[in-house]
Structure 1
Amino acid sequence: MKLNFKKSGQGEPLIILHGLFGSADNWFSIAKELEKDFTLYLVDQRNHGDSPHSDDWNYQVMAEDLKELMDDEGLDSAYIMGHSMGGKTVMTFAMNYPAKVKKMIVADIAPRFYPLHHQRILEGLNAIPMGQLKSRKEADDILAEYIKIPGIRQFLLKSLGRDENGKFIWKINLPVITEKIGNVGEELKSATPFEKPTLFMGGANSDYITEKDKEEIERLFPNSHVIYIKDAGHWLHAEQPAAVIETVKAFLKDKFSP
């Protein structure tokens, strides 16, 4: 699948993948700093942002999407980074195509199984009557019945777009995501570990990467470090952008000391 992406900067290539319900736009503020040192590829994964929709939606096909993008761009190898769902995509890609990865950064996700925990969000999104929707305010009011935190609603409503006739549409493939949401939490397995330098960057206030996860992380990624960004939750790049930028640069430029 030909993914939508935004390319900027100069230097060695760094590809960044967003998480569930997100898009390349989530990383714009980070990109403004990283593009001074790297050629950035901010990617919309399939069924998100401005990339095509498909009924096929799992980590294997998303890893193949990433390979196709690199092949199209003539990239023999690159630094790759992914947040949450994007983190599992880059892990899958690295285990499938280790020669195409220089170093990998995984933001606040482990390779283990995660139980379903997005049902309330999906209920809220599906409750919005797209055919009759008149405004973003109306969508926010409906979503507020399901999700109380304004920041989360604002993030989700970034996927609200308009078609050529000016009618509201979802940029995300909501029906497929609703049907196959279980695929997002699946455990990643590989008989062959990925042995190149890898950084797992968790939020100190998040429970996505626990002490129990470290054993499996070390088994699949033996040349890895796990660090936690202070005063950050799951959305560490939005909550502590300066710390994330500093950590990413240090790791990729061989100046990292855990």
Structure 2
Amino acid sequence: MLNITGIDVYYGRVRALDGVSIHVPEGKIVTLLGANGAGKSTTLKAVSGILPVAQGEISFIGKPLNGVPAEEIVSLGVIHVPEGRQIFAHLTVEENLRIGLYARKDKWNFKTELEHALNYFPALATRLAQKGGTLSGGEQQMLAIARGLMGKPRLLILDEPSLGLAPKIVADIFTIIRRLNKEGTTVLLVEQNANMALKTADYAYVLEIGRVVMAGEASVLLKDDRIRRSYLGGHG
């Protein structure tokens, strides 16, 4: 579904990605692991059209994405839920959800799409008139993902969905991610909780200083001593 082939991405003169290649098969969950600054979020931003690719190619369902404006990439069904949630704090929950529809080019009915999103996040149903900024951290993360679902994603890109959340909320979020995937949504995931990510994903890539240094089935990498020492605190 998504093919990233040998991409280089720069911040000014600093190369953030150096020949990164990643494949995300349709219907699977793929996770990117690595320390802060490894290039994980940069990879996601390159896919979404937020950052330009200096070299290499990105394609989605056979369509080249290099140079395609971010809003057009969204309309293809590539939906990016960024790190830090980035909801609109001064808008209501309902208004935030409506924004998720803006780039869709197909016909849609707000009530139908809202019911679909709230099916995954029923806690938001009683908060539609509440300002986004007054929600708890967990509720804001739910709102961010629900807003992404309003865009009808074929590929859902999640950047650090568990960041700053209590363990119970993290477990709930990952249950929903697995459910979304089971019901047909392909997922590309960046997650600080490597243990949770590897137990959830089908495939994993490990980045170090802008390069892919390991890749394979997540269940296999979960048992790899190098991964256990570096990202799992020596245990699985």
TM-score, length basis structure 1: 0.30
Greater strand content: 2
Higher RCO (CA 8 Å, separation ≥ 6 residues)? 2
